[in-house]
Amino acid sequence: MWSGPRTVSTALMRSFGNRPDTVVADEPLYAFYLSRTGIGHPGRAEILASMPADWRAVLDDLTAAPLPAGRSVYYGKHMTHHLLPEVDRDALAPLTHAYLIRDPAELLASYAKVRSAPELADLGIVQQAEIFDAYPGPVLDSRDLLENPEAMLRALCGALAIPFTAAMLSWPAGPRDSDGVWGPYWYESVWRSTGFGRYRPPDGPLPAALAALAERCRPYYERLHARRLTAGF
Cα(78)–Cα(28) distance, rounded to whole angstroms? 7
In a domain, 45, yes or no: yes
The answer to the question of residue 230 being in a domain is no
Q: Look up the CATH number of the domain holding residue 25.
A: 3.40.50.300
What does pLDDT average to over the chain? 93
pLDDT for 203? 82
Give the CA-trace dihedral at 115, 3, 142, 94, to 10 degrees. Answer: -170
DSSP per position, 9-52: HHHHHHHHHTSTTEEEEE-TTHHHHHHHH----TTHHHHHHHS-
> Is-contact 70 168, C-beta < 8 A?
no
Q: Report yes or no on 123 lying in a domain.
A: yes
Q: Report, as an integer, the average pLDDT of 195-216.
A: 90
Average pLDDT on 22-48 reads: 95
Tell me what pLDDT residue 74 has: 96
Q: Is 71 a domain residue? A: yes
In the predicted model, what is the mean pLDDT of residues 181-208? 91
* pLDDT score recorded for residue 87: 96
Nearest to 210 by CA among 81, 128, 109: 109
Region 25-50 average pLDDT: 95
Residue 38 has pLDDT above 90, yes or no: yes
pLDDT above 90: residue 202 = no
pLDDT at 104 > cutoff 60:
yes
pLDDT for position 115: 65
> What is the percentage of the chain residues whose pLDDT exceeds 70?
98
Q: Is pLDDT at 233 greater than 70 in this prediction?
A: no
In a domain, 83, yes or no: yes
Over residues 28-56, the mean pLDDT reads 95
In a domain, 232, yes or no: no
Q: Is residue 124 part of a domain?
A: yes
Model pLDDT, residue 5? 87
**Residue 153's pLDDT band (boundaries 50, 70, 90)?**
very high
Residue 116, pLDDT score: 66
The answer, yes or no, to whether residue 205 has pLDDT greater than 90, is: no
DSSP H stretches of helix in the chain: 9-17, 30-37, 44-50, 55-64, 104-111, 120-123, 125-134, 142-147, 149-160, 183-186, 188-192, 208-225
Number of domains in the chain: 1
User: Using one digit for the tens of pLDDT, what is the confidence trace for 65-94?
Assistant: 789 999 999 999 999 999 999 999 999 999
How far, in Å, CA of 116 to CA of 40, rounded? 16
Tell me the pTM.
Answer: 0.94
Distance CA 47, CA 53 (A): 9
Write down the pLDDT at residue 54.
97
State which residues form the domain around 59.
2-225
Query: Is residue 102 assigned to a domain?
Result: yes
The count of C-alpha atoms lying within 13 angstroms of the C-alpha of 141, restricted to the half-sphere facing its C-beta, is 20
Residue of 143 and 232 predicted with greater confidence: 143
